[in-house]
Amino acid sequence: MMASSYSAKEEDGHHSGSAGLGGAAIRTRKPDNTAFKQQRLPAWQPILTAGTVLPAFFIIGLIFIPIGIGLYVTSNNIKEFEIDYTGTDMSSPCFNCSQSFSWNSTTPCKCVLFFSLDQPFESNVFMYYGLSNFYQNHRRYVKSRDDSQLNGDQRSLKEPSKECEPYRTNENKPIAPCGAIANSMFNDTLDLFYIDPNGTKTQILLIKKGIAWWTDKHVKFRNPGGSNPNLTAAFIETAKPVNWHKPVYELDIDSENNGFINEDFIVWMRTAALPTFRKLYRIIQKKNNMTPTLPRGSYSLEVTYNYPVRSFEGRKRMILSTISWMGGKNPFLGIAYITVGSICFFLGVVLLFIHHKYGNRNNSSDVPN
């Protein structure tokens, strides 16, 4: 039989010099005998007992349920109206426009939709356009832009980023703004009219400035040439996006809302996370406290149909909405708080019952002599 020897030094990672070449010690993979490497550092491990778990469940429930009710009631008090003007149904006033219009159409198609508001909209009203089945979150679509060009960089204006392909150049000229996002910019025109009981139409004033984020308007987007008001000269030797009907320096007659700093363009360039989304289009400001912003009654929406959606089976809609301190209408947040709070309160009741019935069973049981 062969006998094996044991050495405490070898267990600690130290071997005798005769075992190595030339008396050198053999290194092992065993960690050093320190508190950190041997995981002997001081630690705190909570011990969950009925006295700590039950109050936590009841406190979370009692806090979350009232917050959820408040959020849900606030969301329901927000007034919202939505009308679809895609024109897929033959009975729709926009049916002919949806069937005949395409990106290559040069003559705009117009349609009028009539609707009524059952309740007046008292505070400022925000008009949105909504799209469905439009995947702005696609990876290649999101990357198809040149932020340096949008920030007014002259070099990027003449030599756009390769990320903009295939919307980087057109007719051997750089496209400004380049990329798929800018090329697919929403360009329907929406006009709202109030119809008096006697049949007179009154156009509602729609504010087009103040719809973009301040940081986007004043930091991320800038026109080339600095403060030069002549945008035609600033964008010389550039081409408009393929699907646009006019160049970027003709988006608005107002110099503070033209070119890359056009707020409709800025709003579109902030891509949505989901395929069904809405973007702010206009603001209807409240004139005084005596009359509602949009009184109850009949209205007409006149649409200049420029944006085709049949190619991707999308839908278009117009939304009128008020807001509150929590933003727009969003019942999900209130429902989520109520659901979590109710579950926690219910679990607290169940665990309290179990603890009351079975918690002290071992203490009350008879111990034999």
The amino acid occupying position 32 is: D
Structural domain boundaries of the chain? 80-323
The total number of residues written for the chain in this structure: 369
Lookup result for tokens 């395929």: 275
Cα 65 to Cα 342: distance, rounded to the nearest angstrom: 7
* pLDDT-based confidence at residue 13 (cuts at 50, 70, 90): very low
Give 341-344's long-range contacts (Cβ < 8 A, gap of 24+): 341/60, 341/61, 341/62, 341/63, 341/64, 341/65, 341/67, 341/68, 342/61, 342/65, 344/57, 344/58, 344/60, 344/61, 344/64
Cα 82 to Cα 90: distance, rounded to the nearest angstrom: 20
Q: Which of 47-56, 76-85, 266-275, 336-345 has the lowest mean pLDDT?
A: 47-56
pLDDT of residue 25: 57
Please write the tens of the pLDDT for every residue from 297-327: 999 999 999 998 988 899 999 999 999 888 8
Lookup result for tokens 């087009």: 208
Q: What is the mean pLDDT of residues 283-304?
A: 92
Q: What is the mean pLDDT of residues 38-67?
A: 89
Q: Which of 22-31, 215-224, 259-268, 290-299 has the lowest mean pLDDT?
A: 22-31
Q: Record the tokens describing residue 87, joined without a space.
A: 């024109």
| Alpha-carbon radius of gyration of the chain | 34
* pLDDT-based confidence at residue 7 (cuts at 50, 70, 90): very low
Residue 115 sits at the vertex; the CA angle it makes with 110 and 119, to the nearest 5 degrees, is: 145
Cα 130 to Cα 159: distance, rounded to the nearest angstrom: 33
Q: What is the mean pLDDT of residues 89-115?
A: 85
Residue 6: is its pLDDT beyond 80? no
- What is the greatest pairwise CA distance in the chain? 117
pLDDT of residue 3: 45
Residue 24: is its pLDDT beyond 80? no
pLDDT of residue 364: 56
Cα 192 to Cα 204: distance, rounded to the nearest angstrom: 6
**Non-local CB neighbours of 2 within 8 Å, separated by 6+ positions:** none
Q: What is the mean pLDDT of residues 66-91?
A: 93
Please write the tens of the pLDDT for every residue from 333-354: 999 999 999 999 999 999 999 8
pLDDT of residue 35: 87
